[in-house]
Amino acid sequence: MAKIQQTRSDLEAHLRKSVARLRAAIAGFDHGDIDQAAVMAVTLRVLLHDTATSKSLLGQLGLLGGLTFVDSRGSVPRAGALLFTALAGLRLGRKMKYEANLDALASTDQSFPDWWGSTVLIVPHPSERRPVPFSRRNLVLTVANQDGGAHIDPQLDETYYTLTRGNLMGELAINGKPVSWEADPVPAHIRQITHEVLKTLEREGLA
């Protein structure tokens, strides 16, 4: 079947739709619909991820290599750290949970490869005492490609599965008393990655 190349105007229209989709997903997420993290992850994959057979939208527009991305990690993990949550922190409320840092910490700029591949989350392996790092790329692609975004894999990485379904982060107690909390930091990290991408695009006049 014959194919017709999409024009730059077509691609720019897709970019506008992607930005609108991210903003709508953020609005839903911030009102309590954490399943919108999967929508964000799929849209981020469309914008950012290149493979041998699939080209990112920002790459097709010739923008990806020239952008510097807002990096809101605030710090980098120390050597051998077993726990590191760079993009989200625990927040007190009716129920303790992870929330995206948004603009709470000073940000820096990173090239796309450094930003995409830098470690933003470290958790202990569920059965071995060793750190398991996750980059933005790891988190976005696992949610988008394996865990309900655009596809559902029959099997998931053991650490990711335990982190999102179990209580890999451990019990939480205040004054010696256990408290209820949402221990999965992945949705909040996806929310913060989306925040960084939108800030990057807005700064460049692309959103």
Please state at what angle helix 136-145 crosses helix 36-48, rounded to 10 degrees: 110
Which segment of 66-75, 131-140, 160-169 scores lowest on mean pLDDT?
A: 160-169
Asked whether residue 175 is domain-assigned, the answer is: yes
Do the domain assignments include residue 59? yes
Q: Which parts of the chain are beta strand (E)?
A: 68-71, 84-85, 88-91, 96-100, 108-111, 119-124, 131-135, 173-174, 177-178, 181-182
Q: What are the beta bridge partners of residue 100?
A: 88
Cβ count near 32 (within 10 Å): 8
* Residue 82, in any domain of the structure: yes
| Nearby residues of 199 by Cβ (< 8 Å), 6 or more positions away | 70, 107
pLDDT at 101 over 90: yes
User: What is the dihedral sign for C-alpha 128, 76, 195, 21?
Assistant: negative
* Position 91 in a domain: yes
Structure tokens at 83: 């726990």
Residue 2 lies in a domain: no
Three-state DSSP class for residue 86: coil
Radius of gyration of the chain, Cα coordinates, nearest whole angstrom: 18
Q: Torsions phi, psi of 89, nearest 5?
A: -135, 160
User: pTM for the full model?
Assistant: 0.91
Query: Closest by alpha carbon to 19, among 38, 45, 47, 41?
Result: 47
pLDDT of residue 183: 77
Q: Evaluate whether 198 touches 175 at the Cβ level (below 8 Å).
A: no
Number of structural domains (the chain) is 1
In a domain, 3, yes or no: no
Whether residue 48 has pLDDT greater than 90: yes
Gap between the Cα atoms of 200 and 109, Å rounded: 9
73 in a structural domain: yes
Q: Are strands 96-100 and 181-182 parallel, antiparallel or unpaired?
A: parallel
Summarised one tens digit per residue, pLDDT across range 105-133 is 889 999 999 999 999 999 888 888 898 99
The residue segments making up the domain with residue 118 are: 8-202
Residue 163 lies in a domain: yes
